[in-house]
């Protein structure tokens, strides 16, 4: 189907004034969501009550009074004697809640108010038409709190005074007031509850704003509904991750000067020891030049490692990846670099969504560490119900248990020409995948690195 641009423009013109009228705050919109159905429900209840129950009751009240008046009128027509008529009317007035007054030789007057608000006047006149069969007039304002019905008889007019309570079920405004007061009470209760929920959201928004401005106010206390509490917990975790990220980058920047100082010092000493006078033979300074080239290569390695650590792996998207194939590629590269791969264990066909380049880089760093510190390594792949584990083991000197946590967060240079950021980079990559990293004792005698990734 094709949309009509004119229709969309028309709806847009109608929507803009509506957006200006609607409240902008979450509390205001929530209250509108609560109040609108409440008022609509009360209006429907009033309409149903007014259109069904009130009409039925008014018809029955009108029929009851009409029946009493019709009975007295028929008895009055069958009683010609004046004395007996007066006694009959007195007896009828005493036995009913009506007052009967007969005016001999009078004519029917139609002065007064013959309509009131509500269905009762129409129902009453309908009942009188059907039950009396004679001309009549209903005056609703002749006597306070009384309805006067004047009926034309052959020899006069019969006035019937009826109390309003005989034709009314009570003041309708009381029911309306009760309905809307109960709605107002429910609205106030809902507003109090919603205010507490919105307060928690406002506190979360304020904490996010302050954190974005660089003012760390610490973790916020989760409050409110479950979803709001979950959002607060997620914000606290995000805040911790950002703080750790900044602390790690700060530590790396602090370690740059320390790690570059050694090769720079050696390079400066080598240049200072070069001859400055006389004839210089290339063969004489070749060892010094080679040492300087080695120092420059070390500096390039250090800077490259720091740049890789600083860039991170945020731009790569997770894709389903065959982990065994990825591990085989790392093992082949380690063999070409001079490492001894004792074996690759694990079945083929294990696929999970990962960032393949980042994970390959992490495994390559582990393989390089194993090659530099031990020379021989073994890589294992294991699949569980919810997680996949990759273990890289070597036969090197290993790391004492009390230093393993420090090594994971270290930005100091290694003893074999590395920057010391290998495990730190691996840790960040695995954490970015939602996984964990552990340093263990290896059966080969060196270090074992266990990577656990969620499926």
Radius of gyration of the chain (CA): 48
Q: So what's the pLDDT on residue 96?
A: 84
Q: How far apart are CA 204 and CA 223, in angstroms?
A: 10
51-170: CATH architecture: 2-Layer Sandwich (3.30)
Residue 317 is given by DSSP the state P
Q: So what's the pLDDT on residue 106?
A: 82
Q: So what's the pLDDT on residue 39?
A: 81
Q: How far apart are CA 214 and CA 216, in angstroms?
A: 6
In the chain, list all ranges with CATH 3.30.450.300.
51-170
CA angle 170, 176, 182 (to 5 degrees): 125
Is residue 366 helix, strand or coil? Answer: helix
pTM, entire model: 0.47
From 63, 69, 217, 56, select the one nearest 132 (Cα to Cα): 69
Backbone angle region of 170, left / alpha / beta, with phi > 0 → left and psi within -120 to 50 → alpha = left
Q: So what's the pLDDT on residue 413?
A: 43
**Cβ distance 417 to 368 under 8 Å?**
no
From 359, 353, 438, 335, select the one nearest 391 (Cα to Cα): 438
Paired tokens of 125: 């006149």
Q: In the chain, which stretches have pLDDT less than 70? A: 1-19, 21, 23-25, 51, 112-120, 169-172, 252-259, 262, 274-285, 305, 308-315, 409-422
Q: So what's the pLDDT on residue 244?
A: 78
In the chain, list all ranges with CATH 3.30.565.10.
313-454
Q: How far apart are CA 247 and CA 253, in angstroms?
A: 10
Q: So what's the pLDDT on residue 412?
A: 46
Q: How far apart are CA 144 and CA 127, in angstroms?
A: 23
User: Rounded to an integer, what is the distance from CA 75 to the centroid of its chain?
Assistant: 77
Q: So what's the pLDDT on residue 415?
A: 47
Among the four given CATH numbers 3.40.50.300, 3.30.565.10, 3.40.50.720, 3.30.70.1520, the one describing domain 313-454: 3.30.565.10
Q: Which residues contact 326 (CB under 8 A, 6 or more apart)?
A: 356, 359, 360, 363
Q: So what's the pLDDT on residue 169?
A: 67
Q: So what's the pLDDT on residue 326?
A: 93
């Amino acid at each position: 189907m094709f949309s009509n641009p004119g229709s969309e423009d028309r709806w847009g013109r109608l929507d803009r004034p509506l957006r200006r009228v609607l409240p902008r705050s979450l509390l205001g919109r929530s209250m509108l969501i609560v109040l609108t159905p409440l008022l609509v429900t009360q209006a429907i209840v009033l309409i149903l009550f007014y259109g069904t129950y009130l009409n039925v009751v008014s018809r029955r009240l009108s029929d009851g009074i009409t029946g009493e008046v019709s009975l007295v009128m028929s008895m009055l027509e069958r009683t010609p004697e004046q004395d007996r008529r007066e006694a009959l009317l007195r007896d009828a007035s005493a036995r009913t809640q009506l007052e009967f007054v007969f005016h001999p030789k009078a004519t029917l007057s139609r002065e007064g108010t013959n309509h009131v608000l509500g269905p009762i006047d129409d129902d009453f006149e309908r009942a009188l038409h059907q039950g009396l069969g004679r001309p009549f007039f209903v005056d609703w304002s002749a006597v306070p709190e009384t309805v006067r019905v004047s009926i034309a008889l052959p020899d006069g007019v019969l006035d019937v005074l009826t109390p309003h309570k005989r034709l009314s079920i009570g003041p309708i405004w009381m029911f309306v007031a009760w309905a809307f007061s109960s709605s107002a009470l429910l609205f106030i209760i809902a507003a109090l509850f919603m205010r507490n929920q919105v307060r928690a959201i406002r506190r979360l928004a304020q904490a996010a704003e302050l954190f974005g401005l660089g003012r760390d106010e610490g973790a916020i206390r989760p409050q409110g509904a479950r979803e709001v509490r979950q959002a607060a917990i997620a914000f606290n975790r995000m805040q911790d991750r950002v703080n750790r990220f900044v602390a790690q980058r700060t530590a790396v920047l602090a370690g740059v000067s320390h790690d570059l100082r050694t090769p720079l010092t050696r390079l400066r000493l080598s240049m200072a020891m070069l001859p400055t006078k006389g004839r210089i033979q290339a063969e004489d300074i070749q060892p010094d030049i080679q040492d300087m080239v080695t120092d420059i290569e070390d500096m390039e390695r250090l800077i490259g490692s720091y740049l890789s650590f600083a860039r991170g792996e945020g731009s790569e998207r997770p894709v389903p990846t065959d982990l065994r194939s990825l591990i085989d590629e790392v093992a082949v590269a380690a063999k070409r670099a001079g490492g001894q791969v004792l074996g690759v264990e694990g079945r083929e066909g294990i696929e999970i969504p990962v960032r393949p380049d980042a994970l390959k880089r992490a495994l390559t760093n582990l393989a390089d560490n194993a090659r530099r510190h031990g020379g021989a390594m073994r890589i294992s792949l294991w699949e569980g119900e919810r997680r996949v584990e990759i273990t890289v083991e070597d036969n090197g000197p290993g790391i004492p248990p009390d230093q393993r946590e420090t090594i994971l967060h270290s930005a100091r240079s290694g003893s074999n020409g590395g920057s010391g950021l290998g495990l730190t980079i691996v840790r960040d990559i695995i954490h970015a995948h939602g996984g964990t990293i552990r340093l263990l004792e290896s059966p080969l005698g060196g270090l074992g690195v266990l990577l656990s990734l969620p499926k």
